C-alpha cells in the first residue's frame, strides 16, 4: 500500500507526473494496470486547480522576492507551451492539446498542457477532456515502454 501511495504522490508532481511515477511503480514490482490507474488519478487531480488558479498564482508571485524566479519559470513554460500549441494547431487546438500532453516528451505533460490551455483561454471542459485523454495516451505509451514492449517490438521490425 505504501508503494502505491508513493506512486500516487509522484504522479501529482509537476514535470515528473505519470511519466516518472509509472516506471517507478513497475521498477519496484507493482502490477502495471493498478499502477496505471493510480497514476492517471494522481496526474489528473491537480489539473482543474491548475486551470483555474495556477496562472493567477504565478502572475501574483512573479514579482515576489523568494518565489519570483520559480513563478516566472513556470509562467514562461506555460506561455511557451501555449504558443507552440497555437502555432501547430490552428483550429485543431483540442487535438493539439491532447497530443501535447499525450506524447511523453520533455517539457510536455498535464501540468504544462493545462497551464497552456489556461493561458490560451481554452474552454474549461474541453481542456480537461483533452488533458485527460492525453494523460491516458501517455500512460499507455509509458506503460508499454516501462514493460519493455516497445523495445521488443523494435527488435521484431529490424
Q: What is the pLDDT of residues 75-111, one digit of tens each?
A: 888 788 778 777 777 678 899 999 999 998 888 899 9
Report DSSP state, residue 52.
I
Containing H/E element for 86? helix 68-89
Q: What is the pLDDT of residues 122-157, one digit of tens each?
A: 899 999 999 999 999 999 999 999 888 755 655 566
**pLDDT given at position 85:** 76
Q: What is the pLDDT of residues 16-51, one digit of tens each?
A: 999 999 999 998 889 999 999 999 999 999 999 999
- Answer for the pair 135, 22: CB distance below 8 angstroms, yes or no: no
Q: What is the pLDDT of residues 102-127, one digit of tens each?
A: 998 888 899 999 988 988 888 999 99
Cell numbers standing for residue 136: 491516458
- Go through 33-50 and write b for each residue having 16 or more CB atoms within 10 A of its CB, e for each that does not: eebbebbbebbbebbeeb
Please tell me the pTM assigned to this model: 0.83
Which of 25, 44, 43 has the alpha carbon at shortest distance from 33?
25
CA distance 85 to 38: 28
Give the three-state DSSP class for 67: coil
Amino acid at each position: 500500500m505504501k508503494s502505491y501511495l508513493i506512486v500516487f504522490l509522484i504522479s501529482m508532481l509537476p514535470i515528473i507526473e505519470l511519466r516518472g511515477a509509472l516506471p517507478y511503480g513497475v521498477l519496484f514490482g507493482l502490477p502495471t494496470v493498478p499502477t496505471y490507474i493510480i497514476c492517471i488519478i494522481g496526474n489528473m487531480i491537480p489539473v482543474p486547480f491548475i486551470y483555474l488558479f495556477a496562472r493567477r498564482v504565478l502572475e501574483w508571485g512573479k514579482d515576489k522576492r523568494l518565489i519570483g524566479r520559480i513563478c516566472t519559470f513556470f509562467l514562461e513554460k506555460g506561455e511557451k507551451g501555449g504558443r507552440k500549441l497555437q502555432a501547430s494547431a490552428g483550429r485543431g487546438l483540442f487535438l493539439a492539446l491532447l497530443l501535447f500532453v499525450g506524447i511523453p516528451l520533455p517539457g510536455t505533460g498535464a501540468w504544462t498542457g493545462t497551464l497552456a490551455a489556461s493561458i490560451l483561454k481554452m474552454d474549461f471542459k474541453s481542456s480537461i477532456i483533452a488533458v485527460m485523454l492525453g494523460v491516458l495516451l501517455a500512460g499507455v505509451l509509458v506503460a508499454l515502454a516501462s514493460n519493455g514492449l516497445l523495445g521488443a517490438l523494435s527488435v521484431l521490425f529490424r
